[in-house]
Amino acid sequence: MMSGQPLSQQPVQADAQMTVVLQAQQWNGVLGALAKAPYEVAAPLIQAIGEQLQQPMPNGSDHPGAS
């Protein structure tokens, strides 16, 4: 949960994999932000997200990273 503190701009390793679980309202916010982003920024992210959404979920879960 966000505490109103600004996000730190800590660099993340380029090859680090992350799992994020969002509520539908939050996911819609992400999609809205991508829609407003320049194509060269948004397109690779949308492609990566789409590819992951097409993969089967592990252990029959309903979201990535669940066990």
More confident residue, 58 or 25: 25
According to the model, what pLDDT value does residue 28 have? Answer: 93
C-alpha count within 13 angstroms, C-beta hemisphere, residue 58? 6
pLDDT value at residue 66: 47
Asked if the model's pLDDT at residue 4 lies above 70, the reply is no
pLDDT tens-place string over residues 5-34: 666 778 888 899 888 899 999 999 999 999
| Residue carrying structure tokens 């996911």 | 27
pLDDT at 9: 77
Q: Residue 62 pLDDT more than 80? A: no
Give me the phi and psi of 2, to 5 degrees please: -80, 140
Distances (CA, A) of 41 to 24, 34, 63, 65: 23, 8, 25, 25
